[in-house]
Amino acid sequence: MIATKRCWYAKTLTLICVAAASALPAMAQFDPAKEAKKAIKQGQDKLTDKQKDSKPAATAGAKIVFSVAPIDTAKPANLATTFKAGDNIYALVQSDKTWRDLLGKGKAELRELEVPFVMLVDGERADFQYITIKKPEPMDAKHFVLDIAPEPGKMVAYKDPAFSYAEGKGNRKIGPDQYTYILAALKPGKHKIEYQIASYGDVLAAGEFTIDGGDYKPYSALRDKLLAEALNVGTMPPAGMTNIQLQAEMMKLLQNAGWKNIRKLVIKDKDWWLDHASDGESPIVGRHIAAAVAAKAEDGKFFWCICTFQQPKLADGSFGALELSQTGEKKPILEENIDK
């Protein structure tokens, strides 16, 4: 396998490349035989050793609580620490500081703020990804609503345009998309589920619950319903960078690969990711970058997906021709939401 790191990061961040996934419809992509173990045992990104070893004891003044019903942010009630397989699950992060102060050093000029969430299953990291706060009001709040496995009609935070949910393994978004996928892959029995907000080695908030049951498959059916509900407000990821020449090259490669009626293409990453032979200290063998692409399908409906492009490193130290290396899961989107 090839390990990668983002060249613009201040700290080294190592990722493990995943095999190219088939472009399946969002409602049919759940395949426990192929991905269940990977979804539970692997996270989206590797955290630092300090983050891995951090304990919830470091979370003075902040906690994460859970319930089978939506939680009133002003007066949390009916909280739970035990659930049965198939239960709806809602979470609320409570803090004694605003998110602007806690993660943004109090900077008044902030336009966006990333909140890093970690999910652990039986002590193993199952998910690590960011939820971006895009508006001032939630930045200055001391709570954070987190939908885990909500009823579709009661899914609030996941449809709020003030938040953007990053994608990770399998092109699943953090939140109900990823969380119900992981829950559906659990084996019968009791499991401990933990959530943390972890930033550069510090656990800023934490909470846990246990879930028990003989059948976790209902979460797969729930996931399909949640994805359908999210379609009404679903948007594409924002552009991480603008490079007209590179976008034109990407567009040409997609057309050569048989793509038709491309509606929009934006470069999702802020910079290239460097590909290493084995780990962060090994020789660089290439680089890759991702783009979000929207197009019209043959049935007239629109979809979008993440496409990854790569360049091999040549003997003279330069990078070779751009190649389309991976096409992610195709997700439905309303045309009017493509440019939002």
Nearest to 173 by CA among 130, 112, 126: 130
pLDDT of residue 233: 60
Return the amino acid letter for 340: K
pLDDT band at 56 (very low <50, low <70, confident <90, very high): very low
pLDDT band at 327 (very low <50, low <70, confident <90, very high): very high
Structure tokens at 147: 């939908």
Q: Annotate 163-223 with DSSP letters as a single string.
A: EEE-B-GGGPBTTHHHHHHHHHTPPSEEEEEEEEEEETTEEEEEEEEEEEES--THHHHHH
pTM of the predicted structure, to 2 decimals = 0.60
The SS3 assignment for 76 reads coil
- The DSSP code for 245 is H
pLDDT band at 71 (very low <50, low <70, confident <90, very high): very high
pLDDT band at 57 (very low <50, low <70, confident <90, very high): very low
Q: What is the mean pLDDT of residues 150-162?
A: 86
Return the amino acid letter for 37: K
Top-confidence residue, 332 or 121: 121
Place of tokens 């019903």: 69
Place of tokens 């908030």: 205
Nearest to 110 by CA among 142, 143, 134, 144: 134
Q: What is the mean pLDDT of residues 241-270?
A: 95
pLDDT of residue 86: 97
pLDDT at 40 over 60: no
How would you classify the pairing of strands 89-95 and 62-67?
Answer: antiparallel
Residue 316: exposed, middle, or buried by beta-carbon count in 10 A (0-12, 13-18, 19+)?
Answer: exposed
Structure confidence by residue, pLDDT tens digits, 73-94: 999 999 999 999 999 999 999 9
Contact 306, 328 (CB under 8 A): yes
Structure confidence by residue, pLDDT tens digits, 120-144: 999 999 999 999 999 999 999 999 9
pLDDT at 1 over 60: no
Nearest to 102 by CA among 141, 160, 147: 141
pLDDT band at 234 (very low <50, low <70, confident <90, very high): low
Structure confidence by residue, pLDDT tens digits, 269-303: 999 999 999 877 899 999 999 999 999 999 998 99
Structure confidence by residue, pLDDT tens digits, 197-222: 998 878 999 999 999 999 999 999 99
Q: Kindly report the average pLDDT of the chain as a whole number.
A: 82
pLDDT of residue 231: 66
pLDDT at 5 over 50: no
Q: Where do the structural domains in the chain lie, given as residue ranges?
A: 1-30+234-340, 32-230
Nearest to 37 by CA among 175, 216, 185: 185
